[in-house]
Amino acid sequence: MRDVAIIGVKNSKFGEMWDRSFRDIVVEAGVGAIEDSGVSGDRLDGMYVGNMSGGQFVEQEHIGALIADYSGLSLDLHVPSTRVEAACASGGLAFRQAVMAVASGHEDIVMAAGVEKMTDVSSTAASAALAAAADREWEGIMGATFPGLYAMIARMHMHEYGTTSEQMAEVAVKNHKNGSMNPIAQYKSPITVDSVLNSIMVADPLHIFDCSPITDGASAVVLAPAEIAHEYTDTPIYIKATAQASDTIALHDRRDITTLDASVAAGRRAFEMAKMTTKDIDLVEVHDCFTIAEICAIEDLGFAKKGEGGKMTEEGETAIGGKIAVNTSGGLKACGHPVGATGIKQVVEVTQQLRGEAGGRQVDGAEVGMTHNVGGSGATAVVHILARER
């Protein structure tokens, strides 16, 4: 297997973009990543596009071909383009497919992109589309919603470990603060613990400010074999590990409701592959679709002892400058969560941090970063480790 490097990155703006279409935003990110990399489009050997639910959100399937076409890569060039779907982990998984294509030697210059246009339908229709990532026949039919499933995780976490609503709110407060320094974030105004606790209850104990919003957005990265990366950029970022794991689709079948075993397994595999431990990681972008999800993620990946994720957050150890910087981008909570794009956006954030280009949210001396992208209530987890040094 060959070493692989990131040579270009770009996010579209994240938010409610009434004036822009699905193809507009993904082409913006894709063209931006190509420009950032300095390669010419005709060098591209392949594209992998993460998209959860184009069929339901914009009534468009055949996303891979659409994006190749509107990026000007179909006519004459006929660049192969593959859509990858794993619910909210679609982006992370598209990145993994692209890494494996380059690592295998089958393709050289490859784009990984992720996109979702969620605000063209009503929020009810968007929620129904998202609910399809859970078990439609045995969870959805009983009236389960995504906030509802994570609320059951939160309730159990509170019961088992004494985690509090205030500690969960601290996740949102931190991520909004980080997001206020991220130009692409959907929400740039800081919030307080009180405003989270006083926001309307969606699924007890989760308030609306405990939930990531419905968002339009796209992100893209360009990959190359490590041995030629310096031809394109002075700051290639190397992929030290790519790992993926599966768990039961339904929350009720889990070994432990408060532990996402797919995250545990993917994290362990990534650390083994990179020959690293949590101590080597300077920052991590985790899947905070709900505030409780970030608490579970830092526990499942080994940054916090089981049950102490809430306490660690409350004590500021996950803030920029703390023990481990978690979700410097603002996370899904403040950036917004365009489901297919999120996993790629995490890679863009870590790349910018490792290049030293993160502005006000820069983690001093960041050398190694991790991304963690979850599909559904934990049936898929994708983890990557990126580093400045090969």
Partner 1 sequence: MSVARFWRKQINRYNLVGTHCKTCDTYYYPPRNVCPKCRRDGEIESHKFSGPGEIVTYTVIHTAAEGFEHQAPYVLGIIQLDEGPRFTSQVVCNPEDAHIGMRVKPVFRKLGESGDKGMIYYGTKYVPA
Report the interface residues with partner 1, using CB under 8 A: 124-125, 127-128, 131, 136-145, 147-148, 151-156, 159, 200-206, 248, 250-253, 257
Instruction: Select which of 88, 211, 289, 296 is catalytic.
Output: 88
Q: Which helix (H) or strand (E) holds 4?
A: strand 4-11
Query: What distance in Å separates the CA atoms of residue 205 and residue 286, rounded to the nearest whole number?
Result: 21
- For the bound state, the minimum distance from the C-beta of residue 264 to partner 1, rounded and expressed in Å, comes to 18
Write down the least CB distance from residue 34 to partner 1, Å: 39
Q: Which of 123, 116, 130 is nearest to 54 (CA)?
A: 116
Question: Is residue 78 annotated as a catalytic residue, yes or no?
Answer: no
- Please pick, among 157, 287, 337, 372, the residue that the annotation labels catalytic: 337
Beta bridge partners of 371: 285, 384
- What is the number of alpha carbons within 13 Å of residue 26 lying toward its C-beta? 33
Q: Are 358 and 194 in contact (CB under 8 A)?
A: no
259/254 Cα distance (integer angstroms): 8
Complex with partner 1: residue 203 or 283, whichever CB lies closer = 203
Cβ–Cβ < 8 Å for 210, 290: yes
**Catalytic annotation on 88?**
yes
Nearer to partner 1, 164 or 248 (CB): 248
Distance CA 222, CA 10 (A): 9
- Of residues 68 and 249, the one with the C-beta less far from partner 1: 249
Q: CB 281 → partner 1: shortest distance, Å?
A: 31
Report, in Å, the least distance between residue 383 CB and partner 1.
23
Q: In what order do the strands lie in the sheet with 368-375?
A: 81-84, 46-50, 110-117, 216-225, 4-11, 237-246, 380-387, 368-375, 283-285, 325-326
Shortest CB 292 distance to partner 1, Å:
11
Residue (2 or 159) nearer to partner 1, CB:
159
Burial of 13 (0-12, 13-18, 19+ CB in 10 A): middle
Question: Closer CB to partner 1, residue 327 or residue 380?
Answer: 380
- Show which residues are catalytic: 88, 337
